[in-house]
Structure formats: C-alpha cells, structure tokens
Structure 1
C-alpha cells in the first residue's frame, strides 16, 4: 500500500517491530510520509474516509437513478439514530441526486429541530428545506386492524380485533407478526394472550413479545452496550418514578447525565420523567419475566441492588418502633380468643 511504498520494505519491517513504542512525533512523521505518497484524490479519502465513503455511496445511487428513479425505504430510523450514523446518512442523501426519493420512518419527529435532553437534534428540514414531506402515522384502530387482516389473511370479527388491539397497542409491526402467525395456523387466542401453563417462552404470544422488544433494543443488545441495557431494564422494572431507587439499581451517582445521554440516542427514553415509552414498557416488562432472562446476571444485579435499597428504607422507617403486639401487651390489653 502507500505506506509500504513510502517507507520501503526494510523500514516498514523495523517499524512494525517497534511501532508500539513510537510517540506522537514519530506517528506524525509517518503520517506525513504517507500523505506525500498519495495523490490529491487519495489524500481526501485518507483524511476523511467515512465522509468520502458516504459521498461515494450517494454518488453511486445518483448514477444508478439516472437509468431509473429510485425509492429507498429505511423503515427503522432507530438503526442509524446515533450522531455519526445520522450525519453519514444525510451525506448519502445529499449526494444521491434528485432522482432518488428517500422514505425514512422513525418514532421521533425527524423533520423538525429540537432539544433532546442535552443534545440538540438538527431536523432534516434544515438540511433539505422544502424537500421534506413529513407524515405522521397513527396507531391502527379496530377498523384498520380488521381491514388489514381481511386483506392479508382473512376477516376477523370485532372481538378478535379488540383482543389484538389490546395486545398490540395498535403497533403495525406487532399486528403484521400476528397476521403472519395466524396465516400459519396458530390459534388466535395463542397469539393475543400468554398461555396459562407450559413454557410461555415457546408460545406464539411470547415470540411476538420478544421480536417487538428486540426491535426497540436493536442498538443495545451487544455486549459493548451493557450499561445501556442495564439502564433500560432498570426503567422497565420501576413501578413508579423513583430517582433514588433507580440510582441504587444502576449503581450510579450522576443519574441525570446518564439518562440524558441515553435519551439523545434512544428516542424511547424519557429522561425527565424517569420513564420508558409506554409501548416499550408494556412489551419489555413481559419480555424480562421470561425465566431465561430473569436469571441473567445483569437482571440479578439490578434486582439485588433494589432489594438492598428497599431493605434499608424499611429499616430506617421502622427504627425505634416496637412490635405492635408487644406494645399492646405492655399496656395490659388482652386479645379475646375466638370461641
């Protein structure tokens, strides 16, 4: 490559052996040698590889669109809902030309700029002005659920639509999964309700719960996102907003900065109210109750910290109190035994 050509084989081999000990000045010298060996075009790529890759992708799409207009659909914006990814996506869009139409679907408002916690989100209108056409899609109502099933599988009655509406919370993704399962012959009742016996995690109902939860958690399922997952799970386990309890569960002192930072990356976190999006909390609560998940070390740690905090609260609240029966006995009050 350019580096080997610039330095020569023998020098490169020597540097490989001692490279780990090179200081900032040595690395700077190598960088200058590399740049000298590159053409002007290669230097642009070397200096800003990610940006150049995004632009090249956009230009490739523009070239393809000259033959035939393109419509590109990104149905889960949350996959790129991180600053660097979002920036790259905008560069691709800008370079893709007027023959390419982009359809981007997400839970948050992408068109308008707004403050998200401590992060300012730059709306797509600012970059693409009057080329942005926002459409707000609402949840499926009973009539729409029935229309969807009639078209995709077969008609369902009002009672079935009501049961599916309660389970799905009107989320099209869940309704589509339910339709696919019913088309395969899975009884409707097994889709909309958890089984009373047997392994619930093997049920069709749970498979939808799992798919929906993992759809929400697409960015924090990897081992490198353990802290993110811990925070989301902690919020899901809270019955009511309790900052002190959540701080203990997560073992963090600076709770607000952590939640604000997560809110900037995950639109389903509501940092100010210490809550998750209601739909996610509904599905995630059932997802976490699965035996295989309840035994995970991460959840066990959160539970143990919560119990320790609650035990301490009980101890503090009952400090100085004597047993009620003992106190009554001391006061000479006797209980009448039942006949």
Structure 2
C-alpha cells in the first residue's frame, strides 16, 4: 500500500515513522524539511501546566504517557540520542493568579501528582507560589526533529521537495495532488499541514505566530511555565518563549516581540537579564477556534491538524491513531471528538 503524507513537522514525520515500521510504502512531500514550525517549538510536555480539561486533557495526557516509549523508538531507529527530561514542570503562580492553585488542587484530587513548593530567593517578587506537576517533562525538539529526519532515511521513506497547491477531490475521495513540480497519486493520503491547512481545505485553521530566544545562560534547571513566559533549560542553552500573535504569516522576529520576551522572563527570574543572546526564532502554530485539534476522514485520506500549542506533545498519540486507522481499520474516538463538524 502506497501512502503519501503531506507535511514534515513532528506530526507528519511521526506518522511516517509509525507507518513505515508497519511496512507501508511512504512518500513524504514537503516544501522544506527545515521550515516546519516544530523546529521552533519549546518542547514542553505540559497538559497540567496548560490547564487543559475534558477530552483535550485526556488526549494530551494519554500522549504524555506514551512519550518515553516514543522517544525510545525514535532513538532506536535513528541511532541518535534525544535529550528528554522527565523532571516535572514548575508552574509559576504570579500575583493575582491564585486560581491556578485551585486548578492544581483539582488535579490532585483526581489522583495526579501535584506538589506545592516554597518560593525560592531567585524569583522576583511577582512570583507568589510554585506548583510542580511531576508527570510533566520536556524534550529538545531540535534533537527530536533531527532524529525523525534521519529515521526517514533509515526506513527508506521517500522525501519529495515540492509544494502541494491543490487536492483533486471527487465524491470525498482524493484522486491526485497537484504540486508545483508534479502530480502525485497514492492509495491513501495523510495531510499534516499545520498552520497551512486552510490553503488546501476549507477547515478553520489559522496561524498564530510565536517568537522565541535562545540564551547562553542556564538560570534554572527545570522548565518554568508562567502565563507571561516559558523558561526552558536545554543542555546547550536556555529557550525563552513565546509570544502569541495573530498576524497571519508575517515572518521574522520583531523588536516588540523580543523586548516582551526578555522583559517577561526577567519578571520571573531577574538574573536572566545578563544572559547572552545566542539567536532568535519564530514559527506559526496551527490555531483553531476552540484551541483543539481537527481530525477529518475521507474515503482515502485523513487530515491531522490544529494541534496549536501542543503539537510536540501530541505527536505519539496522533501517529498512533493514524496507524490504527490505516493498518487495523480502527477509527479512534478522537476522530469524532475533534471532527471539523463541531464548527
């Protein structure tokens, strides 16, 4: 069975990995493997810190539990080591945010591991409390993406550099894809096109730009997640993010965005003010009206998109349900929960 996957972000690559390991012939079409927003993501695996609820929380927590085996699989196939931390995440509570403590207590009442930590001296006066969500963690997305791309080579996944500009549909069936360089046909098609999905399908996806900074210092050893800043330690540097801007596909870093990132990080950990800036980056999250994914199924295709702020977290479960759909003909309940029909 020949499968074409459009998109080379973490969702597309993970789906290609799972299906290639099952023996399917995979062609992956991408405009540029380095263009995917996944490269600029913070890599937090933090459904509790995000304050998720309902089916979105269930989906996210299930994927979080899959992460150790997912990382192990990617490492085994690629033969690359991926930095993956399971040390929990510190949810920073600022003045006026006491509702976050109530939320944490609700999670704890449901049996999840939640700790309330004493405020340390290196925090600013704006920080009133720290909640530690022990089940959370983070991954170095650059390591992960490098490993996934190498895994494509190891598994002989064909990668075509092209831009798909039209999907020829008839009676809910894809007949072919039109690219700038050629046309493509397959037995089955999977679209993992993130913020660019609306260019091909009438689905309410829109880009939310995020800017971030890499700094040389390491002021903290654990992710500090707050409503105004993410401070994410990696082995080589610290990632500071991220803005949230509804500016369509306006590229580049801005003075305003970078200034806000720096100021907000200093509001959490003042010592970061002297950190040396290594580089800046930006990407486009695939936003949806209710901030939940959008999964759609046609006769011979599926669309897996709209993961918004949690694409890295959602990679293993999304790839898994795609594999189950194609290999075992099992349709996950999440296709119903996240159907575009809800709009």
Instruction: Give the TM-score taking structure 2 as reference length.
Output: 0.23
RCO higher in structure (CA 8 A, sep ≥6): 2
Whichever structure has more helix as a proportion of its residues is 1
More strand by share: 2
Between structure 1 and structure 2, the one with the greater Rg is 1
